[in-house]
Amino acid sequence: MSLPQSAITPEAEPFALYTQLKVNQNAQQVLEALQKLPALVEELNETQPGAQLTLSVAFSHAFWSQLEQSMPSELKPFPELGEGDIFAPSSDVDVLVHCHSNRHDLHFYLLRKLMGQIAEDVTIVDETQGFRFMDSRDMTDFVDGTENPRGEQRAEVALVADGEFAGGSYVMVQRFEHNLPAWNRLNVSAQEKVVGRTKPDSIELEDVPAASHVGRVDIKEEGKGLKIVRHSLPYGTVSALTVCCLLHTVIQYITSTRCLKACMALQMAKPINYCASLKPSLVVTSLRLRRQCLRP
């Protein structure tokens, strides 16, 4: 089986960097610069003991369509959804660079090295620096990721098991800004009904409200619960990155108007950024653009 990129299956380290890029020109040169990053990560881990630096690079449907490789079956553009105050934009993104480690400075170093090669060719659509807060809580002060798969199950959930894209993973990026003043005006009991869990110890409520966060994220396919691996860290408000081996069910669910309108948590949060992409396996180093796409 092809080896997965290093940031996909490990538990998130205390610091993370999520960088989304739009490629404007010289796509082949951008791709080649991205393909050099794993070697730089390996070098940094050798020279900076204990850093535990990991990296993964993902490509959108639009960018992948320029490659010589066939299109992954589950890779779809993310559509805009919702209306009015509850609206999730579709971000125009070609590349996601995700790294996590014990040291934020190495993420800065890695991105600076990359941008030193491609700054004139890309636009940084979003650059978000995440950090572990307290005992893995987000800015609402609730524990984040209670049901996140652990141990060997993470690979089972996140990685494509076989076929041409074995070892890869489909990615959904979501970034939210919480209305914390409004949230903090709610008493703890009201907050727990919005989340569907107790605040001190993250125990699921006996009677979970259907419109709570927990009540709305129980995704099923053919009657079986669909798991995702989340690399979510707060950044001052909250961000989320999920990886899975099947993406279509996740997209179908969150793009339903019923889901958006029913979730009480979205009354307190503004979706800022959404995109879907694929993190290929380590054969990322062999990806090439089609000949007709090599022009600037």
Residues with catalytic roles? 144
Structure tokens at 148: 């996140």
- Burial of residue 31 (CB within 10 Å: 0-12, 13-18, 19+) is buried
Query: Angle 216-191-184 (CA atoms, 0-180°, nearest 5)?
Result: 130
**Cβ-contact 244, 161 below 8 angstroms:** no
Residues in the chain, total: 296
**CA-wise closest residue to 154 among 229, 101, 99:** 229
Euclidean distance between CA atoms 251 and 173, whole angstroms: 11
Euclidean distance between CA atoms 61 and 71, whole angstroms: 8
What are the start-end ranges of the H helices in the chain? 27-35, 37-47, 61-64, 104-118, 153-158, 180-184, 188-195, 213-216, 248-254, 257-262
Residue 129 forms beta bridges with which residues? Answer: 17
Give how far the C-alpha of residue 82 lies from the chain's centroid of Cα atoms, to the nearest Å: 20
**Cβ-contact 226, 246 below 8 angstroms:** yes
- Burial of residue 189 (CB within 10 Å: 0-12, 13-18, 19+) is exposed
Residues 6+ apart with CB under 8 A from 36: none
